[in-house]
A and B are shown apart, each in its own frame.
Chain A
Amino acid sequence: MQFVQLVISGLAQGCIYGLIALGFVLIYKATETVNFAQGELLMIGGFAGLFAATTLGFPYWAVILVAMAVTAVIGFLNERIILRPILGQSAVAIVMVTIGFGYMARGLVTMIPVIGTDTHSLPVPFRGEVFRFAGLVISAEHIVIITVTILLCGALAALFRYTKIGIAMQAMSQNQLAAYYMGIPVKRLSSLIWAISAAVAAIAGILLAPLTFIHANMGFIGIKAFPAAVIGGFTSLPGAIVGGLIIGVVESLAGFYLMEGFKDAAPFMVVLAMLVLKPNGLFGERLAKKV
């Protein structure tokens, strides 16, 4: 029982990692850049949600929408204003810019007087409730995280598989030059993907809030989501989620059964093992990119 309980809370935590990893992968596939500020977008989403819930008194579903909208706009502008001008520079330069964006975001948020370095709690309708069945005690927060993640993945899968714009996003990540030849607005779709990734991070932030509270440094969770993306192969969306779940469960079990300290190191040990056994990740694309 204990074991199952740990696995379930690991899966819930893993969903959060998976959602952040999804953002890494989406952006990497579309623009071949790694956005190290995914965690900070999650943090901004958390605060946007906090503002909507406490100051504006919005209901939970509207809180999620506000958080998504605010971060989507920031993600979009981030690509448009900061990243597009330096496109074509070295990968290191671009990565440094995203890291810089993360630092700035954290600094600016801390400078807002009512926020500072305090932790804040997001009011949610299901706070503290638990479900019991078959001897298990599962918190409502975990169930909400898992349910929302499943719904979100379904929505994204439908977007990429069945809509023209989603198929075009796949197309441009496979062969950008050909996408230009087809008249696909590659740049506009890139901005859109940054917006989607940011919105996904915001959802992760709102889902995470009941577990860790909202604070300026909550974005550091992005560092743990990165291994999730690597395990999944860094080019696979399902891989990102599976990678996140693996990290979450390993971390949860290691935290309980192993010595103190193993919990935080576990994700990176999994990645090391992975890179040795299966360098392309679980779902890595073997097909080399042409452009």
Chain B
Amino acid sequence: MTEPILTLANVEAAYGAVKAIRGVSLSVPKGAIVTVLGANGAGKSTILKTISGILDPQKGSITFKGENIERRDPADIVRRGLSHAPEGREVFPLLSVRNNLLMGAYTRSDKDEVARDIERMERYFPILKERADQDAGLLSGGQQQMLSISRALMSRPDLLLLDEPSLGLSPKLTKEIFAIVRRINREEGVTILLVEQNAALALATADYGYILELGRIVMEDRAAVLAEKDDVKEFYLGQKEAGVRGERRWKKKKMWR
């Protein structure tokens, strides 16, 4: 593995009294795609929010490009080269598609380069060019997802946090978006930390994976290895094994150790 661009060490975060993640440690190598898998409510989005500074951790440290970034202002973290495409798209509904992209580049002041990057995004997702002057709220869910990812890339991040890019999309569109995510990773060298419900697709896309349960990391390995593990197959890939063994495991429910 190359040197990590992002490292979390024993990070804990909570919403008021509700502890959402407990002692999470993970690292993302430069240039890689790393995925975090887990059931609903496991704390995946919380990890991403804590990294991008929307939520302050109660404990632990977050290191990005060699510097501590925990408890910093979200704007400061964006400026350092970390961008977050949040769960549920969160576009600016009454701004035009183009102005949404422009807002993604808020922290930049190189106007000409920003214009060129907008064109680049419009080449990845031609629909964004077609609808450039339309309000973003009028786009379909899938189109809004493309806008959300493009908008996050407009800050020219070194690390992109992607939260459930497939949410609410057709399988076909999901595939297309993942193909572009891979291209962005390969062609532009953007490191990606991906949270995804579609575990099969996530493991096929990522180099390395973590499995999160009730706010704790319970397993980690190369994505190809994870995809072959029985537990993962059973609970995340939906391939329940037949026979006595499968029966027993089912009763054990989800207990990792």
By a CB distance below 8 angstroms, the chain B residues around A164 are 102, 106
The answer to the question of B74 belonging to the interface, with a C-beta cut-off of 8 Å to chain A, is yes
If A182-B151, A183-B155, A184-B75 touch, does A285 touch B102 (CB 8 Å cutoff)?
A: no
CB <8 Å contact, A183 and B106: yes
CB <8 Å contact, B93 and A181: no
CA distance A164 to B90 in the complex (A): 19
CB <8 Å contact, B91 and A175: yes
The answer to the question of A185 belonging to the interface, with a C-beta cut-off of 8 Å to chain B, is yes
Interface hit among B78-86, B207-215, B245-253: B78-86
Closest A residue to B89 by beta carbon equals A178
By a CB distance below 8 angstroms, the chain A residues around B31 are none
Q: Which of B86, B102, B137 contacts A287 (CB 8 A)?
A: B137
By a CB distance below 8 angstroms, the chain A residues around B78 are 181-183
If A182-B106, A183-B106, A184-B103 touch, does A171 touch B95 (CB 8 Å cutoff)?
A: yes
CB <8 Å contact, B86 and A181: yes
By a CB distance below 8 angstroms, the chain B residues around A167 are 95, 99, 102-103
By a CB distance below 8 angstroms, the chain A residues around B152 are 181
The answer to the question of A174 belonging to the interface, with a C-beta cut-off of 8 Å to chain B, is yes
If A164-B102, A168-B103, A287-B137 touch, does A185 touch B75 (CB 8 Å cutoff)?
A: yes
User: What sequence of 0s and 1s flags, for each residue 269-285 of chain A, a beta carbon within 8 Å of any chain B beta carbon?
Assistant: 00000000000000001
Q: Identify which of residues 57-91 in chain A touch chain B, using a CB-to-CB cut-off of 8 Å.
A: none
B154 to chain A, nearest CB (A): 9
By a CB distance below 8 angstroms, the chain A residues around B74 are 180-181, 183
CB <8 Å contact, A178 and B92: yes
CB <8 Å contact, B104 and A182: yes
Q: Which of B86, B94, B151 contacts A177 (CB 8 A)?
A: B86
By a CB distance below 8 angstroms, the chain B residues around A182 are 78, 103-104, 106-107, 151, 155
CB <8 Å contact, B54 and A181: yes
The answer to the question of A290 belonging to the interface, with a C-beta cut-off of 8 Å to chain B, is yes
Closest B residue to A177 by beta carbon equals B90
CB <8 Å contact, A287 and B95: no
The answer to the question of B52 belonging to the interface, with a C-beta cut-off of 8 Å to chain A, is yes
If A180-B54, A290-B90 touch, does A174 touch B75 (CB 8 Å cutoff)?
A: no
CA distance A171 to B103 in the complex (A): 8
CA distance A287 to B54 in the complex (A): 25
CB <8 Å contact, B86 and A183: no
CA distance A290 to B89 in the complex (A): 11
CB <8 Å contact, B92 and A174: yes
If A181-B54, A183-B155 touch, does A170 touch B75 (CB 8 Å cutoff)?
A: no
CB <8 Å contact, B104 and A287: no
Closest B residue to A291 by beta carbon equals B90
Q: Which of B52, B86, B95, B104 contacts A170 (CB 8 A)?
A: B95
CA distance A233 to B238 in the complex (A): 51
Nearest 6 CB-CB pairings of A with B:
A183-B78, A178-B90, A183-B75, A183-B107, A171-B92, A180-B74
- 20 extra interchain contacts, Cβ-Cβ under 8 A, other than A164-B102, A183-B77? A167-B99, A168-B106, A170-B92, A171-B92, A171-B99, A171-B103, A174-B92, A177-B54, A178-B86, A178-B90, A178-B91, A181-B54, A181-B78, A181-B84, A183-B76, A183-B78, A183-B106, A184-B103, A287-B94, A290-B93
Residues of B at the A interface (CB closer than 8 Å) are 52, 54, 73-79, 84, 86, 90-95, 99, 102-104, 106-107, 137, 151-152, 155
> 22 A-B residue contacts at CB 8 Å?
A167-B95, A167-B99, A168-B103, A171-B99, A174-B94, A175-B93, A178-B90, A178-B91, A179-B92, A179-B103, A180-B75, A181-B52, A181-B84, A182-B103, A182-B107, A183-B74, A183-B75, A183-B76, A183-B78, A183-B79, A184-B75, A184-B103
